[in-house]
Amino acid sequence: MKIYLDNAATTPMLPEVIELVNKSMQSNFGNPSSTHSFGRTAKSLVETARKNIAKQFNVTPSEIIFTAGGSEADNLILRNAVTQLGVETIISSAIEHHAVLHTIASLKEEFNITSKQVDLTENGGIDYKHLEQLLAQSTTKTLVSLMHINNETGRILDLQKVSDLCQKYKALFHSDTVQGIAHFKIDLQKTPIDFIAASAHKFHGPKGVGFAYFKKGSAINPMLLGGEQERGARAGTENIHSILGMEKAIEIAYSNLEKDTAYIQDLKTYFISKIKKSIPNIQFNGMSEHTTKSSYIILNVLFPKEIKMLLFNLDLKGIAASGGSACQSGSTKGSHVLQAILSEEEVQNTSVRFSFSKLNTKVEIDYVIGVLRELVE
């Protein structure tokens, strides 16, 4: 039995997406920059996809820049905030994705910017009072970079609250929304965020494609040089087939959002109920069991002890999940997120992230819980 519960890492492509990508690869081979009919057809498809994706977030097509994924989008956004918009201070947190943390560290070294980290609450959330203090104290142009959904714990950021604070103190707001796009509705007119990042493979689309949203009026200097594609923001022939696949995946996700959300939340609730009954003293990292403070996709389980080789043994049983510390992940450093929110004693215990999709079933969960019970005992 093969069971995939690592959907926060990547998701299987939907059959409808595969079919569209396959069809496009057979018929849409023109270069979108060419002026002949093949190129014009390809260009039209790319621009229609841009328009349809923009509609989902209530923005204009010109504000969407196609990228190779979320990490490139984060890099492009943060670098341009410093080089083009005059940002000298970046406020972030210790639990951001490395695409943000490493980029900020690089910008600090290269441009001598100031970087500050907002405090975390005891249960792994952002301390909004401390964020306001940091914004009030800042004397230079400031950018706040905080992720919408934490990729390890699923903890949800209050986008509206952070947006309001940024507007109050005239700061820019960037959110890595990779784990939120196509899982939550984001209206960028109602909740003004200056920059967001997305990656198609997190919502049943192709790998290697995503987008960055730059609020109108933001100057963009490309990181990749050699062409005038993406209105000069990113050189290189557009990945037309994957862009169309992303458009299809996002369309499917938002047209079925309410139904899919209810189904996956029910799966997660079922998993929580079963594991609590089967394994005593189970806890959940970052309030990942909470129905409103955590994404319905992610559950980060803290076991009451260290269980060596747990992920390896789960894999032998056909179960895919992700580890949250060095002994599970194979990393010598472990999870920077869990190290930031757990005690030294808790970090030594085994943590596993299970993440769900609409393709999972309760039958699969029953099997996983049975295997976990055996391995823990």
* Three-state SS letters, 286-312: HHCCCCCCECCCEEEEECCCCCCCHHH
Q: Which residues contact 336 (CB under 8 A, 6 or more apart)?
A: 94, 95, 98, 101
Question: How does pLDDT run across 59-99, given as a tens digit for each residue?
Answer: 999 999 999 999 999 999 999 999 999 999 999 999 999 99
Give the three-state DSSP class for 156.
strand
Q: Is the pLDDT of residue 35 over 60?
A: yes
Summary mean pLDDT of the chain: 95
Q: Is the pLDDT of residue 146 over 50?
A: yes
pLDDT number for residue 219: 81
Angle, in degrees to the nearest 10, between helices 240-255 and 257-278: 80
Give the three-state DSSP class for 44.
helix
Rounded mean pLDDT, 28-36: 95
Percent of the chain with pLDDT over 70: 97
**Domain 257-376: which CATH number of 3.90.1150.10, 3.90.1720.10, 3.40.50.11540, 3.40.47.10:** 3.90.1150.10
When pLDDT is cut at 50, 70 and 90, the band that residue 154 belongs to is very high
pLDDT number for residue 249: 98
Supply the DSSP symbol for 283.
E
Q: Which of 82, 327, 347, 352 is catalytic?
A: 327
Question: How does pLDDT run across 107-124, given as a tens digit for each residue?
Answer: 999 999 999 999 999 899
The full set of domain ranges for the chain reads 15-255, 257-376
Percent of the chain with pLDDT over 90: 94
Question: How does pLDDT run across 306-362, given as a tens digit for each residue?
Answer: 999 999 999 999 999 998 533 334 555 789 999 999 999 999 999 999 999 999 999
Q: Are 325 and 350 in contact (CB under 8 A)?
A: yes
Question: How does pLDDT run across 185-231, given as a tens digit for each residue?
Answer: 999 999 999 999 999 999 999 999 999 999 998 889 999 999 999 99
pLDDT number for residue 325: 38
| CATH topology classification for 15-255 | Aspartate Aminotransferase; domain 2 (3.40.640)
pLDDT number for residue 332: 52
pLDDT number for residue 217: 84
Rounded mean pLDDT, 245-265: 98
> Is 280 exposed, middle or buried (CB count within 10 Å of its CB: 0-12, 13-18, 19+)?
exposed
Q: Can 166 be counted among the known catalytic residues?
A: no
Q: Is the pLDDT of residue 3 over 80?
A: yes
Does 257-376 match 15-255 at the fold level? no
Rounded mean pLDDT, 160-188: 98
The CA radius of gyration of the chain, in Å to the nearest whole number, is 21
